[in-house]
């Protein structure tokens, strides 16, 4: 019988009450299912936070930061990236999409574009310039040379080839869900904001948080007010000083290590001076210290307040990527007094962010996930003290070696054979190879065989062999294959030996550089907390591609389009 008001009138009273009660319970149950979804999903990414670091100095950390996750959350203690090139954009995009780089397309911070004949920065897009005049790329990056290759200050997520969790949440809610990404680094913000969200990042040249015309035609009033207030001014003529007495630090007697980078007037010993607000390098010094994370926190709090995140039953999404740990790791290494103090200060910053979210939204209504875009190695000189063979690699010298000269003579090539090295890919000169009627695959294999003879090179893999499925199925080679995108990857993937890497960043000799498939670079934390999560520790191996589909399952959306990860059942069962 078709249910209608007219039909109900003729139903006996007891049956009528039963039908009405059933309908009421149906709607009540639907409502309960909806309220079980968090009002806010907060995704925290700490750049270069190796998996062992959150607990390394826990005995001197307070409440509410790392301790909150380790004691009240689900801790996945054996989490890894499954791709070989562990760089910033690669890891961020993987966490955002649940896809391997082979699918999401972010195969490196930079790649060689054969169409334009130049290096391309991952999120550059000349169609969408920055809203702030003068916030150009060349002036804002003195420590981060990967951005200097960009031919434009424009930024967008257009080069990301698949959807993010934030995209799927926006589509699922018909655009009602608010989706934001915030970071010091542009790629840290854009990757999580995706195509449907909004992204803000810090411009060193402008000294403020900026965005591009992909996201807005003009700044929201609250962003203009935030920047006008001068968020960096309080750091002028101050220094980064130790949070605790030196005697309490594990590395308290190692404040001046020979391999640490000395940037005057910042220096390589405490206190690290920021200098005057108009001084050369002032905003750069902020970002390579805990001040960068503090600025990110301030902007994230302003965003939560002014965009009213988590204030209605529709799930919102906020990504906050903290970048200072990465910069400190590069300049000083992870086993340094600077890295130790930075983590103690980051712990406070995390506690402040979570306390603010608890005040505004409630942690019971917020699902928080914390992970990292990659880990990081120890400084080679530090490892040498323990008996390791560790050192640096210089790809610029490869073609000058006698072996390459013999190789070029064998193929009858009198000109440059290597077109570009953009870590971790070697791009060959296709024009010369074609003019000589050579097989690209044959040349790749010959060059790869020569590369592994060089000191510090462990493996060289031909892209032609990968495309044809002609490589052995080993864990290491699977991670290389997960990084392979035929339109962007180079001709040969180069894997350095463990603890060997390039340390020259635009003329600056840094202490340590990530970007390898070795465990110290793939090992990252994955923590879930809040929203009714029951604490537990899980030690089976999981991968960072599992995070996005897990968030999709919690929010009820379909998985992002390139996802290959598995839902982490403990997160759903724990709630």
Q: What is the CATH number of the domain that holds 482?
A: 3.30.1360.150
| Domain range enclosing 418 | 391-497
pLDDT in tens, 62-107: 999 999 999 999 999 999 999 999 999 999 999 999 999 999 999 9
Considering the domain architecture, whether residues 207 and 271 belong to the same structural domain is answered as: yes
Considering the domain architecture, whether residues 97 and 198 belong to the same structural domain is answered as: yes
DSSP state of 104: H
* Cis, bond preceding 140 (omega within 30 deg of 0): no
Spell out a b/e string for 457-492, using b for 16 or more CB atoms within 10 Å of the CB, else e: bbbbbbbbbbeeeebeeeeebbbbbbbbbeebbbbb
Structural domains of the chain, count: 2
DSSP state of 130: B
Considering the domain architecture, whether residues 378 and 482 belong to the same structural domain is answered as: no
β partners of residue 240: 272
Q: Please, which residues have CB within 8 angstroms of residue 356's CB and are 6 or more apart in sequence?
A: 301, 304
d(CA 284, CA 139): 10
Considering the domain architecture, whether residues 280 and 398 belong to the same structural domain is answered as: no
Residue 260 sits in a domain whose CATH number is 3.40.720.10
Using 70 as the pLDDT threshold, list the residues of the chain that sit under it. 1-35, 136-151, 505-507, 574
Q: Hey, how many other C-beta atoms are within 10 angstroms of the C-beta on 27?
A: 10
Tokens at residue 268, please?
């390589």
Tokens at residue 279, please?
């001084």
Angle at 119 between CA 115 and CA 124, to 5 degrees: 90
Q: How many residues belong to the chain?
A: 575
> For position 416, what pLDDT does the model report?
87
Three-state SS letters, 244-311: CCHHHCCCCCCCCCCCCCCCCCCCCCCCEECCCCCCCCHHHHHHCCHHHHHHHHHHHHHHHHHCCCCC
Considering the domain architecture, whether residues 540 and 472 belong to the same structural domain is answered as: no
Considering the domain architecture, whether residues 172 and 235 belong to the same structural domain is answered as: yes
CA atoms within 13 A on the CB side of 159: 31
> For position 149, what pLDDT does the model report?
57
Model pTM? 0.92
- In 3D space, the residue among 193, 165, 194, 170 whose CA is nearest the CA of residue 314 turns out to be 170
Q: Is the dihedral of CA 77, 89, 369, 158 positive or negative?
A: negative
**275 domain residue, yes or no:** yes
**291 domain residue, yes or no:** yes
Considering the domain architecture, whether residues 395 and 380 belong to the same structural domain is answered as: no
d(CA 167, CA 161): 12
**569 domain residue, yes or no:** no
Considering the domain architecture, whether residues 182 and 249 belong to the same structural domain is answered as: yes
Tokens at residue 304, please?
């939560």
């Amino acid at each position: 019988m078709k249910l209608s008001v007219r039909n109900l009138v003729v139903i006996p009273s007891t049956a009528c009450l039963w039908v009405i009660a059933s309908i009421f319970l149906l709607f009540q149950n639907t409502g309960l299912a909806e309220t079980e979804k968090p009002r806010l999903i907060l995704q925290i990414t700490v750049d270069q936070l190796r998996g062992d670091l959150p607990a390394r100095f826990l005995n001197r950390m307070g409440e509410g930061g790392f301790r909150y996750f380790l004691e009240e959350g689900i801790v996945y203690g054996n989490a890894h990236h499954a791709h070989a090139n562990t760089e910033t954009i690669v890891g961020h995009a993987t966490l955002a999409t649940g896809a391997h780089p082979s699918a999401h397309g972010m195969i490196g911070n930079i790649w060689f574009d054969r169409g334009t004949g130049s290096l391309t920065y991952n999120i550059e897009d000349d169609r969408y310039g920055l809203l702030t005049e003068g916030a150009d790329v060349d002036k804002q990056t003195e420590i981060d040379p990967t951005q200097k290759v960009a031919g434009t200050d424009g930024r967008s997520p257009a080069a990301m080839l698949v959807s993010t969790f934030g995209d799927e949440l926006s589509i699922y809610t018909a655009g009602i869900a608010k989706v934001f990404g915030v970071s010091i680094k542009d790629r840290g913000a854009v990757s999580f904001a995706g195509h449907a969200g909004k992204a803000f990042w810090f411009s060193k040249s402008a000294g403020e948080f900026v965005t591009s015309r992909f996201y807005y035609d003009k700044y929201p009033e609250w962003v203009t007010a935030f920047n006008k207030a001068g968020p960096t001014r309080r750091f002028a003529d101050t220094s980064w000083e130790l949070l605790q007495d030196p005697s309490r630090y594990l590395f308290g007697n190692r404040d001046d290590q020979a391999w640490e980078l000395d940037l005057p007037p910042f220096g390589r010993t405490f206190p690290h001076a920021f200098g005057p607000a108009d001084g050369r390098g002032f905003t750069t010094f902020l970002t390579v210290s805990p001040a960068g994370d503090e600025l990110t926190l301030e902007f994230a709090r302003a965003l939560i307040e002014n965009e009213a995140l988590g204030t209605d039953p529709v799930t919102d999404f906020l990504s906050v990527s903290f970048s200072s740990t990465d910069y400190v790791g590069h300049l000083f290494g992870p086993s340094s007094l600077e890295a130790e103090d930075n983590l103690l200060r980051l712990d406070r910053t995390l506690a402040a962010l979570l306390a603010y979210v608890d005040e505004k939204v409630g942690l019971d209504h917020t699902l928080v996930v914390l992970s990292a875009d990659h880990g990081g190695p120890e400084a080679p000189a530090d490892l040498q003290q323990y008996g390791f063979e560790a050192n640096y690699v210089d790809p610029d010298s490869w073609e000058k070696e006698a072996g390459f000269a013999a190789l070029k003579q064998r193929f009858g090539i009198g000109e440059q054979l290597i077109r570009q090295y953009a870590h971790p890919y070697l791009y060959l000169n296709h024009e010369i190879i074609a003019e000589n009627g050579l097989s690209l695959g044959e040349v790749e294999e010959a060059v790869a065989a020569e590369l592994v003879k060089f000191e510090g090179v462990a493996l060289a893999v031909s892209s032609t062999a990968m495309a044809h499925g002609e490589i052995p199925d080993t864990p290491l080679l699977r991670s290389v294959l997960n990084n392979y995108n035929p339109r962007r990857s180079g001709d040969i993937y180069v894997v350095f030996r463990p603890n060997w890497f390039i340390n020259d960043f635009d003329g600056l000799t840094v202490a340590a550089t990530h970007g390898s498939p070795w465990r110290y670079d793939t090992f990252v934390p994955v923590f879930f907390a809040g929203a009714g999560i029951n604490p537990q520790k899980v030690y089976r191996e999981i991968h960072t591609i599992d995070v996005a589909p897990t968030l999709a399952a919690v929010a009820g959306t379909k998985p992002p389009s390139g996802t290959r990860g598995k839902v982490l059942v403990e997160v759903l069962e724990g709630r």
